[in-house]
Amino acid sequence: MSTESLPYNYLAIDGPIGVGKTTLVDLLTRRFEGVKVLEDVENPFLDKFYKDRPGAAFQTQLYFLLSRFKQQQETIQRELFQRLVVADYPFHKDRIFAYMNLSDDELLIYDKLYAMLEPQVPPADLVLYLEADVDTCIGRIRRRQRAYERHIAREYLVELIDAYNHFYHHYRRSPVLVVDTRRLNFPQRPGDFEELVEQLREPIKGTHYFSPLGTR
């Protein structure tokens, strides 16, 4: 049993596609013997969405919203306060994609459903927002070679990164640690991860920026 601990019960990792969320979740749950929560990426509408097929955005978004809600209710609520929970998404990130991809009429329906579900979901004690530029994300997406991601357009990623930055500039639901991952390599440079762990040992309030010694 690990004797190490952090001053948090629930960490959520967020950031655009390809930024390295799942890798960091794996490292943190191994280090602190935590519970790993990975969102369901087997959305049956996702491939159609990335191929830009009409109507796929609404189906894709509702599937993700309901899947994320079910997982947060079943897994996070059950494990909270027993072991450290580390998720590769916070529930509230769903709105980033909804407001990017849905029409006004679709948003009317989405917002009504979201407003019913959101109060039932516990907020993270801390969100780690992983930043990266579009070229970094594209390179990481190509290396992991997921079939349904082959059709992601560069323009879509640029828009997504801008939407993430705007969302977390105004986000107040949980404290946020902003981590610029462009010059970090947690799996291959253990020192990068150790610096982040040291940062996480101190309680964070508001928005804080992680600045590793090697990148200053």
d(CA 20, CA 144): 11
d(CA 45, CA 76): 25
| Domains located in the chain, CATH noted | 10-23+30-215 (3.40.50.300)
Half-sphere exposure of residue 98: CA atoms within 13 angstroms, side-chain side: 22
Task: With cut-offs at 50, 70 and 90, classify the pLDDT of residue 81.
Answer: low
Res 1: pLDDT:
44
Average pLDDT, the chain: 88
Q: Is the pTM of this model over 0.85?
A: yes
Could you tell me which residue, 156 or 79, shows the higher pLDDT?
156
pLDDT tens readout for residues 18-64: 899 999 999 999 999 999 999 887 888 888 888 876 679 999 999 99
Of the candidates 14, 88, 125, 192, the residue annotated as catalytic is: 88
Res 48: pLDDT:
86
Contact assessment for residue 213 and residue 163, using Cβ atoms and an 8 Å cutoff = no
Res 113: pLDDT:
97
- 111 catalytic? Reply is no
Residues in CB range of 91: below 8 A, 6 or more apart: 68, 69, 72, 118, 121
Which structure tokens are listed for 8?
Answer: 């948090």
Res 6: pLDDT:
92
Instruction: Find residue 177's DSSP bridge partners.
Output: 128, 208
Res 201: pLDDT:
93
